[in-house]
Amino acid sequence: MNHPIPYGRQHIADEDIAAVADVLRGPFLTQGPHIGAFETAFASYIGSQYAVAIANGTAALHLCCMALGVTTETRVITTPITFSASANCVRYCGGEIYFADIDPKTALLDINAVRAVLEQHPKGYFSGIIPVDFAGYPVDMAAFRDLADDYGLWLLEDACHAPGGSFMDQHGVIHRCGDGSLADLAIFSFHPVKHIAAGEGGMITTNDEALYKHLLRLRTHGITNKPAEWTEPYVGEPERGGWYMELQELGYNYRLTDMQAALGTSQLQRVDAMFARRQEIAKRYDEAFSNTNVSIIIPPISVSHAYHLYVIQADDRKGLYDFLRTKNIIAQVHYIPVHLMPYYRQFGWKPGDFPNAERYYARCLSLPMFPTLTTDEQDYVIASVKEFVGA
């Protein structure tokens, strides 16, 4: 190929550009009507009662931890195979992160490993779990909900990779990722390589009205101007005019702009078609690599994988990565285990702590996966991988 093929790429259509241009010509660039419209449309798509638009996925995780009451006394379990923000959000609030190993069959947080960590400590030692729908493979949140309830824990679902994904629980009920039926809160990202590209941006979904209202306040400095939420007036304040507001707690400016919201809403109109295209691409990869020297993860029929990433595992990952670069194929690695990062090593985590995660990392490689990937481009990627591995 004469042009590079990245692992991910946004698709901006003419209607997306028109939607943003309309905002630029209008009276609101931020804190305008496009925010609520995007939240309503996204909640409808996901199936949750509430949605709160946030500046980005990391900010969404941070606010969730604040709303859930994470403090310096809080301990939370998550997976080492994720972007570091899934763990960092707890640290932002002063909490302590514990890791548990992954299930090698799915690359997801292993519920049995989590249970083992919980059993090593008295009840009440931990406060929550942050499972991650890694690569778009939905976590069995029903099983995690049962486990969390047994130990009195909250669940924060990092669904950044999985809008539109779903799984069927043991009772035959289908749950969409982030729909609020199981996790207390869930978060999504609108980074350009994600399913919905808004430049940057994120969303928090929930079915809990109290958490929803708290999040609305936290994303805007902790300020409210709603009479129903007013406490006592300022000392010496004789009256409350239209200017009156209250800083009720320490929050942040984590707002999304109307331009981003308009872009996200426009992208949402095509999300089903883009989701279907990702699954078509994954199916072609599955068929191509089914009898080769690379390993692939194929979910059961009860799982609808969102395929933010298509990950293969190869014995000579570094060699394959470098070879694909010579072919103008820009593959990527997702992820270096978080517990091996220098920041987390200072807390005592070390190589060998989570062998499944570390073996996965040593072999994983994300191939190009985005809706506008052409058949010719995908064939070229497949042929190049097979050339290297000798399939």
Catalytic residue IDs: 194
Distance, in Å, from the CA atom of 60 to the CA atom of 159, rounded to the nearest integer, reads 11
Distance, in Å, from the CA atom of 63 to the CA atom of 252, rounded to the nearest integer, reads 9
Tell me which residue of 360, 299, 296, 276 sits closest to 102, measured CA to CA.
360
Number of other CB atoms surrounding residue 313 within 10 Å? 18
Structure tokens at 281: 């691409």
Q: How far is CA 5 from the centre of its chain?
A: 24
Tell me which residue of 321, 292, 55, 289 sits closest to 191, measured CA to CA.
55
Q: How far is CA 123 from the centre of its chain?
A: 28
For residue 330, the SS3 value is strand
Q: Which residue has the tokens 């990392």?
A: 361
Distance, in Å, from the CA atom of 379 to the CA atom of 66, rounded to the nearest integer, reads 46
Distance, in Å, from the CA atom of 150 to the CA atom of 275, rounded to the nearest integer, reads 35
Structure tokens at 21: 């241009």
Q: Could you tell me if 157 and 145 are in contact, meaning their C-beta atoms sit under 8 angstroms apart?
A: no
Distance, in Å, from the CA atom of 373 to the CA atom of 375, rounded to the nearest integer, reads 7
Distance, in Å, from the CA atom of 147 to the CA atom of 321, rounded to the nearest integer, reads 39
CA 173, 54, 257, 160 dihedral sign is negative
Q: How far is CA 334 from the centre of its chain?
A: 13
Distance, in Å, from the CA atom of 124 to the CA atom of 137, rounded to the nearest integer, reads 30
Phi, psi of 51 (to 5 degrees): -145, 140
Distance, in Å, from the CA atom of 387 to the CA atom of 245, rounded to the nearest integer, reads 65
